[in-house]
Amino acid sequence: MTIRNILIAPDKKLKQRSTPVAAVDDDIRTLAADMLETMYAADGLGLAAIQVGVAKRIIVTDIHGKDEPPNPLHMINPEIIWNGEDRIIHEEGCLSLPDHYAEVERPNTVRFRFLDLEGEIREMEAEGIQAVCLQHEMDHLEGILFVDHISIIKRSMILRKLTKLRRSEGDAFGQPQAAKAASA
């Protein structure tokens, strides 16, 4: 497995719409494994393939408690097939917008259909933080960032700060935290 660089906003690739995966093969499984390793190295809860520069409809998540074993979820070509009526407001962050957070309102319960790593069709229902995380990652597949759900003033402030930080950190910016620590 390889830890990949995570794209940082306002990278234009993050606004790109991802394309469906034609077939689940070893290349897709390797990408999914790399994504999971990258997400863990960056201490994240979820990651979309576009965040590592691959415009494919793949997301990985792991929402497990502090004292629980890892419970990774790989979703290929995920789609929302049902939204519950109840809404939840949750503070979201993103590995592509480091150290920035905002409250976003989303459905509290969502049903998904997706392919697993064997290419089998699966369905699952998620609620609470898992539902929020999966919807956040699915937004990435459409070129939507969580800041697109907040006011334009707040969004502009965050993106300006990230642009300034990107210029000041140069080439080291965008590396996973593990790679930054190793280079320090």
Residues designated as active site = 137
Q: Work out the number of other CB atoms within 10 angstroms of the CB of residue 126.
A: 20
pLDDT per position as a tens digit, 21-76: 999 999 999 999 999 999 999 999 999 999 999 999 999 999 987 889 999 999 99
pLDDT per position as a tens digit, 135-170: 999 999 999 999 898 888 888 888 888 888 777 776
- For the chain, domains (ranges, CATH) are 12-183 (3.90.45.10)
| pLDDT of amino acid 132 | 97
CB distance 59 to 75 below 8 Å: yes
Give the separation between CA 178 and CA 51, rounded to whole angstroms: 16
| 3-state SS string for 137-177 | HHHHHCCCCHHHHCCHHHHHHHHHHHHHHHHHHHHHCCCCH
pLDDT per position as a tens digit, 92-115: 999 999 988 999 999 999 999 999
| pLDDT of amino acid 56 | 98
